[in-house]
Amino acid sequence: MHYFIAILAPIFWGSTYSAVALYLGDLSPYWMAVWRALPAGILMLLISRRGLPLSLPRMLAVSFFNIAAFFLLLFIAAYRLPGAVAGTLGATLPLVLMLLQWLTEGKRPEPKLLSLALLGLVGVGLLLNPSTNIDWVGAGAMLLATFFVAQSTLWMKRWEAKDIFGLTAWQLVLGGAMLIPFAWSLAGPPQAPTLHAVPGLIWVIVLNTAVGYWAYIRSITVLGPNRQSIIMFLNPLTAVTLGVLWIDETLQPLQWLGIAMILASLLWMKFSDKLTLSRSAKTAAAPSR
């Protein structure tokens, strides 16, 4: 069940690029970041009706890094890059996490997790169409967004909030509110979305954001940030798959190889975790001598 919930985040987040292409292309990326965060957070707060799960300074820090800055940069990337390119750059998350842990906590990367991260990253890299023209503003935005989400992930693991639903809701509300002045100054006052955009907005607000962020934050505490970041390889895989199904993109043989490598890295992690648990259970059950 833990792994099932964990994969919801990358699957829903991987749909962002297709939702933008199909329904939301006429909306400002800056206001789109607000529409994604704030309504989802308000909806969750109406359900939970709980106070801040962390101190205000900590809530403001994770809300800015994980929502405000991340969403702003993510939508800049989504509007300027193909889904496969954005997903490839975002797939550096496991390596960025390990690097931050090494620099700030003195924790060296586990060889197994480092191998899984590199295998998955190569697989994601193969998803990238070699003929794709890369917009370097979008690429820089995506890399910076990856750093922000990596840092906020480590904070949320370290601070251990017990109310995961409330932590998600307050981050979306505070982060969405922070985005309003940025959106207003960069894109002017908001414009009412068209009827054509409504299905995309509903998908992005409810499933992509409310459910996706709850699943991600919960999985950080249950599985740990490094394992969850490797599961996030499903994000670009979902983006590419939906591009094939909905936007008439095609896959080359190397891209199919990339898909196989991503799935292999995830299966390797799941199998090795099961093997470790089985050995631990046998050791605990063995009689002492």
The chain-wide mean pLDDT, for the chain, equals 81
Higher pLDDT, 78 or 225: 225
pLDDT at residue 44, rounded to an integer: 94
The model's pLDDT over 59-69, given as tens digits with 9 standing for 90+, comes to 999 999 999 99
pLDDT in tens, 82-112: 666 766 677 778 888 888 888 888 888 778 7
- pLDDT at residue 277 above 80? no
CB 230 within 8 Å of CB 263: no
Q: State the distance between the two ends of the chain, measured CA to CA, in whole angstroms.
A: 36
Instruction: Give exposure, 274-288, as e/b (b: 16+ Cβ within 10 Å).
Output: eeeeeeeeeeeeeee
Segment (H or E) for 55: none
Cβ contact 10:235 at 8 Å? yes
Note whether 94 and 144 are within 8 A (CB): no
243, 84 Cβ separation under 8 angstroms: yes
Q: Is 250 helix (H, G, I), strand (E, B) or coil?
A: coil
Round to whole Å and give the CA distance between 41 and 232: 22
Question: Residue 175: which pLDDT band, with cuts at 50, 70 and 90?
Answer: very high
- Assess whether pLDDT exceeds 80 at residue 179: yes
Q: What is the pLDDT, as a whole number, of residue 284?
A: 47
The residues, any chain, with a CB within 8 Å of residue 48's CB and separated by 6 or more, are 163, 165, 166, 169
* pLDDT value of position 271: 67
As a dihedral over the C-alpha atoms of residue 92, residue 95, residue 96, residue 99, rounded to 10 degrees, the angle is -160
The pLDDT of 126-145, averaged and rounded, is 75
Identify the pLDDT of residue 110.
79
Q: What are phi and psi of 149, to 5 degrees?
A: -70, -30
* pLDDT of residue 235 exceeding 90: no
Q: Looking at the predicted structure, is the pLDDT value of residue 234 above 90?
A: no
- Residue 245 in contact with residue 213, Cβ under 8 Å? no
CA distance 44 to 56: 19
Per-residue pLDDT reduced to its tens digit, 196-216:
889 989 999 999 999 999 999
> Is the pLDDT higher at 175 or at 283?
175
pLDDT value at position 84? 62
